[in-house]
Amino acid sequence: MSLSMYQASIPVILQMFGSISAVLDKAAAQAAERKIDPTVLVNDRLAPDMLPLSAQIQIMTDQAKGCAARLAGIDIPAFADTEKTIDELKARIAKTVDFVKSLTPDQINGAEDREVVLKIGGNDLKLKGSQYFFHFFLPNFYFHATTAYDILRHNGIQIGKRDFIGQI
């Protein structure tokens, strides 16, 4: 049995958003228990030259909706980057999940050979769908998911690898 592009992409995206959403729930609950203003978590970063938690989630959702749309050959929905609370970040994740779930296997399957064009530094980067997914999207998506997790863990939120992996 071969693996389709839909099977390789959409469930992976949905699993990680389930995990990150649950991690954000734990962060909100633990912040309330410890009487920590949750906006401290939303605005925190691992290093001065890194983006804060809010941007990590925004980039994750941008990457996911961009990937799903590019593989399906449709326009990418635009979201404003205005989230300032954990609830707003969770709502953005939910909106992204709704979009990703709206795509059908027929829209995604066969995308491994579809040309994907990215604008990087003002230049066009042309990739086959499979190259784009496995070598550009996945590393970026997991980088920002891991960084979001690390920001929360660095702030003492009690989460572990099982929380990051989530439901399989």
Residue 104 has pLDDT above 70, yes or no: yes
DSSP 12-57: HHHHHHHHHHHHHHHHHHHHHHTT--HHHHHH--SSTTS--HHHHH
Residue 1 has pLDDT above 90, yes or no: no
CATH number assigned to the domain comprising residue 154: 1.20.120.450
Q: For residue 29, give its domain range.
A: 5-165
pLDDT tens digits, residue range 52-101? 999 999 999 999 999 999 999 999 999 999 999 999 999 999 999 999 99
Average pLDDT of 147-153?
Answer: 97
CA distance 127 to 118: 8
Q: What pLDDT sits at residue 167? A: 82
Quote the radius of gyration of the chain (alpha carbons, Å).
16
For the chain, how long is the longest CA-to-CA vector?
Answer: 52
What mean pLDDT is reported for the chain? Answer: 96
Total number of domains constituting the chain: 1
Name the amino acid, one letter, at 72: A
Residue 2 has pLDDT above 90, yes or no: no
